[in-house]
Amino acid sequence: METICFQGFFSLPKCVDYLILRSMKKIFLFLLFAQSLINTHAQKSAFHVVPLGVLGGIEEGNLSAYMVAPAGTKDYICLDAGTINAGLQKAVSKKIFSIDAARVQKEYIKGYFISHAHLDHVSGLIITSPNDSNKTVYALEACMKMMQQYYFNGIAWANFGDQGLGFKLKKYHYQTLVPGEETAINNTTMLVKAFPLSHVKPFESTAFLVRSNDDYILYLGDTGPDSVEQSNKLYLLWQQISPLINSKKLKGIFIEVSFPNDQPNDKLYGHLTPHWLMKEMEALGKMTDNNALQGLTVIVTHAKPPVYKIKKIQQEIKESNKLGLKIVFPQQGNGFTL
């Protein structure tokens, strides 16, 4: 039988049978492959995200709206709805979807979650409603009342809902959420909890905590920092999600940063700057285990034009990220996973 001598292999200074070595090599490679499969499974994505609009302010074709589905499904919800059709067109052009934009809206989007009734978060839903399919619109009570009273009221726009003023076309079912109560999302396997936020106190916005199996994402609508808003809404929200960060079940936080740091506090109008983002992340970090925030994905939303201010926001966030957060600046129509 052929043998070969390997000096120093595993510190064994003697000749080893070649066939035994070859078997050992195969076992070693198999173990590496098996470990790779285990790591891949452990890191498997839980959600697929398609940003339909990522900005605040005057960019009417690119305003806050994020499609989210459990990975491997087409059962999307839309978190806010500032821009719908333009974003879908962009996503289709980038081969995110293989069907046209109209069909994506009708067939893939199963419901809308509106954080607050400002037009840059709801105008896409209003404008595209005539060509949409039947589905559910979810919001907290104050937001739902505003949409029914001022938008879908039979005067400013036809009432495509099943409640409110004027003739009811009943295309949309209005489902008012109860703060902190988990609610099943129609035609999906996901569930959601809504939490109120302060957006120029006493006015209200919403954070949506979306669950798929044991995985979560958190989406915040517009919000100011607690200390400026004289509120504890973010503090209470961080208390709710800190256990999910410790257990690595929270896959990402969508949170707004509308202005660069040179925006005065008295002109924040219920928004965050990079400085205030990091202050709030530090407050969250105090409620979690040591280094639990390191590597946590934070998707920065709602930056307001012009472009030079958006670039300034991004640079200031990068420079102040002492917590090791994984910062994502989403682009319209570019899908990603969490």
Q: Is the pLDDT of residue 305 over 90?
A: yes
Give the residue-averaged pLDDT of 28-44. Answer: 52
What is the predicted pLDDT for the residue at 142? 98
Residue 212: what pLDDT? 98
The pLDDT assigned to 22 comes to 63
What pLDDT does residue 9 have? 44
Residue pointed to by tokens 């902190």: 180
- At residue 26, the pLDDT reads 62
pLDDT digits (tens, 9 = 90+) for 110-156: 999 999 999 999 999 999 999 999 999 999 999 999 999 999 999 99
pLDDT band, very low/low/confident/very high, at 219 (cuts 50, 70, 90): very high
Structure-model confidence comparison of residues 31 and 285, the more confident one: 285
Distance CA 191, CA 321 (A): 31
Write down the pLDDT at residue 214.
Answer: 98
pLDDT band at 32 (very low <50, low <70, confident <90, very high): low
Percentage of residues of the chain with pLDDT beyond 70: 87
- When the pLDDT of each residue in the chain is averaged and rounded to a whole number, the result is 92
Block residue for tokens 């081969």:
95
pLDDT at 16 over 70: no
Question: What token pair was written down for 149?
Answer: 């009273």
Per-residue pLDDT band at 7 (split at 50, 70, 90):
very low
Q: What is the mean pLDDT of residues 59-78?
A: 98
Asked if pLDDT for residue 35 goes beyond 80, the answer is no
What pLDDT is attached to residue 135?
98
